[in-house]
Amino acid sequence: MARSPQGQKSIAVFGATGSIGASTLDLIARHPDRFRASVLTGGKNVEALIALVQHFKPDHAVIADESQYEALKSGVAGTSTIAHAGAAALADLAAAEADVMVSAITGTAGLLPTLSAVRAGGVIAIANKESLVAAGGIITREAQRHGATLLPIDSEHNAVFQAWAHARHDEVASITLTASGGPFWSRSLAEMQDITPAQAVKHPNWSMGQKVSVDSATMMNKGLEVMEAVVLFDLPEDRVKVLVHPSSVVHGMVQYRDGSILAQMGAADMRVPIAHALAWPDRLDWDAEQIDLTALADLAFHAPDDDRFPCLALAREASRRGGFAPTVLNAANEMAVEFFLNGTIGFLDIARLNRHMMESMTAGGDITLDDIIAVDQDTRRQALAWLSER
Ligand code: NDP
């Protein structure tokens, strides 16, 4: 794939039909002088992918669901876009030359495309936290080996990345990720018993895909983010702090050993961190909302509550145990969220299934990609068995 002319950056958007994909494409559409979409991918939603192809005219479009290949092919007929389908095409095109690969497929399905872009030595703007949790060691090792650059898009990690600036590792005492607390921060456990999927996907501050919205409601999202931060910033879990900050203005902080704290603030809009990653190392003027600090009621911060939101503590435990524990917890949680969204289990059962899978896992030795995929698949099978035994 040829580089774009006239200094435009070519952007390959993996997960283009999703929420992060939409925010990324909004920025690309605002800056045709600076960016062009070179690859767009979808999972199942072929109609949405075709509409994006018509608008952005990428070189390649991939639909993961192979049964939709003919629909994609006929939908892009008459354009210069080449249609592809399936997981192998996703991995191949992730390795194709683009200036930035945006990794925004949800769940572990994003792992192989991410790894493929990493092995091609590219710049990866990574939103797909599940890959970093399931296979963080492999991704960072391969990134070093192949000279790839990982730029975090997840707002808290992007905030830490910005506040870290050029500091040496030993100058940093700890980092802090903020959490909004999700829609149920002020509810008791008894009140959480009957939460419905429709209530759980309604986040108070952020507009996101279903999986990450449910993760925010259980605070597993913050747990995944702690594990993600351990990988990205090479810090032990106890130096990755979490504070509940309901107004979602401060997204992340770096506490330095000399007593300074640098924080990044911004509107609760994913285009802020995405713009930072797309333009990096420059800054993009994209007409961002500037926060009026005088209009803020408060900047309160609270300690998390592990009794009401046990998923965060489970994630910390997985991070301390290491080995396959993060892979198991991540796969168990993906299954639990799916069961919850399709109405098979209750909201509080998500943490129950996650704990059950963590308790029944066995320790592993050396970890290869094949081991991770096998453990991921095995955990999903066991989660189904847990469900049918209930
Ligand atoms: P969405 O559910 O909105 O979008 C997910 C994207 O992944 C869609 O393009 C979907 O395609 C695609 N997809 C789903 N399953 C597969 C599969 N098996 N193979 C290939 N593609 C697939 O999710 P978000 O955009 O909200 O989140 C994306 C990632 O970013 C997640 O890892 C999330 O944790 C992370 N993230 C999201 C944030 C947010 O604000 N949304 C914030 C920080 C991180 P289709 O719809 O066509 O099936």
Q: What is the pLDDT of residues 16-29, one digit of tens each?
A: 999 999 999 999 99
Measured from the Cα of 22, ligand 1's closest atom is 25
Distance CA 34, CA 12 (A): 14
For ligand 1, the distance from its centroid to the CA atom of residue 268, given in whole angstroms, is 18
pLDDT tens digits, 169-222: 999 999 999 999 989 999 999 999 999 999 999 877 877 899 999 999 999 999
What's the gap in Å between 216 CA and the centre of ligand 1? 14
The reply to whether 9-152 and 322-390 are identical in fold is no
Q: What distance in angstroms lies between residue 20's CA and the mean position of ligand 1's atoms?
A: 7
State the average pLDDT for the chain.
94
Dist. CA 128 → ligand 1 center (Å): 8
Q: For ligand 1, what atom is nearest to the CA of residue 113?
A: 20
45 lines ligand 1 (CB under 6 A): yes
**How many CA atoms, within 13 angstroms, populate the side-chain half-sphere of residue 352?**
11
Q: What angle do CA 250, 254, 256 make, to 5 degrees?
A: 140
Ligand 1 center to 166 CA (angstroms): 31
| pLDDT reported for residue 367 | 85
229 has a pLDDT exceeding 90? yes
7: pLDDT confidence band, cut at 50, 70 and 90? Answer: confident
Q: Which residue in 179, 141, 162 sits closest to 281, CA to CA?
A: 162
Is 363's pLDDT higher than 70? Answer: no
d(CA 341, CA 325): 24
Distance CA(74)–CA(179), nearest Å, equals 44
Ligand 1 center to 321 CA (angstroms): 28
* Ligand 1 atom closest to 41 (CA): 9
What spatial distance separates the first Cα and last Cα of the chain, rounded to whole Å?
51
Tens of pLDDT, residue by residue over 158-167, are 999 999 988 9
CATH superfamily, domain 9-152, is NAD(P)-binding Rossmann-like Domain (3.40.50.720)
Residue identifier of the C-alpha nearest atom 38 of ligand 1: 208
Dist. CA 170–CA 316, nearest whole Å: 22
- What is the Cα–Cα distance from 350 to 148, expressed in whole angstroms? 35
Q: Ligand 1, from 105, 150, 155: best to mutate by most atoms within 8 Å of Cβ? A: 105
Asked whether the predicted pLDDT for residue 5 surpasses 90, the reply is: no
Rounded to 10 degrees, the C-alpha dihedral 197/198/199/200 comes to 40
Task: Mention every residue, 6+ apart, whose C-beta is less than 8 A from residue 74.
Answer: none
Please work out, in degrees rounded to the nearest 5, the angle formed at the alpha carbon of residue 33 by the alpha carbons of 30 and 38. 85
Q: Where are the domains of the chain?
A: 9-152, 156-268+291-312, 322-390
Domain with residues 322-390, CATH architecture: Orthogonal Bundle (1.10)
Give the pLDDT band of residue 365 (cuts 50, 70, 90). Answer: low
Across the range 223-230, mean pLDDT stands at 97
254-290: pLDDT as tens digits: 999 999 999 999 999 999 999 999 999 999 999 999 9
Structure-block tokens of residue 242: 């979490």
